[in-house]
Amino acid sequence: MTDESWAGWYRDRQGSDAVILTTDGQQLRLRVRGVDFEGGSFDGLRPVAAGPAEQGLFALTDGVLGDCVLEWDLPFPVVAEGAERQATLSCLLALRKPDPYLYLELRFDGAAFGSQRAESDFGSALATIQRELPPGVRLRTCIACAFSDYFPAPDPAPGRGLSGGLACFRGAKEAYRGTAGEQDVLGLWERRTGFVQEVWSCREFESRPTEGAGTGHRGAFPLETA
Q: What percent of the chain shows pLDDT beyond 70? A: 92
Give the integer Cα–Cα distance in Å for 75 and 4: 10
Q: Which residues of the chain have pLDDT under 70?
A: 1, 51-55, 154-159, 224-226
Residue 224 identity? E
Sign of the Cα torsion 68, 58, 97, 159 reads: positive
DSSP 153: -
The CB density around residue 21, as the number of other CB atoms within 10 Å, is 21
- pTM for the whole thing? 0.91
Closest CA to 138 of 214, 212, 210: 210
Half-sphere exposure of 121 (CA within 13 A, CB side): 19
| Chain centroid to CA 59 | 23
Contact indicator for 174, 140 with CB cutoff of 8 Å: no
Structure confidence at residue 130 (pLDDT)? 96
Structure confidence at residue 158 (pLDDT)? 44
Closest CA to 83 of 113, 112, 108: 108
Sign of the Cα torsion 196, 200, 205, 207 reads: positive
Give the integer Cα–Cα distance in Å for 117 and 4: 26
Give the integer Cα–Cα distance in Å for 74 and 91: 8
Structure confidence at residue 213 (pLDDT)? 87
Residue 110, classed as helix, strand or coil, is coil
Residues 49-73 as b or e (16 or more Cβ within 10 Å = b) = eeeebeeebbbbeeebbbebebbbe
Structure confidence at residue 116 (pLDDT)? 86
Give the integer Cα–Cα distance in Å for 37 and 171: 29
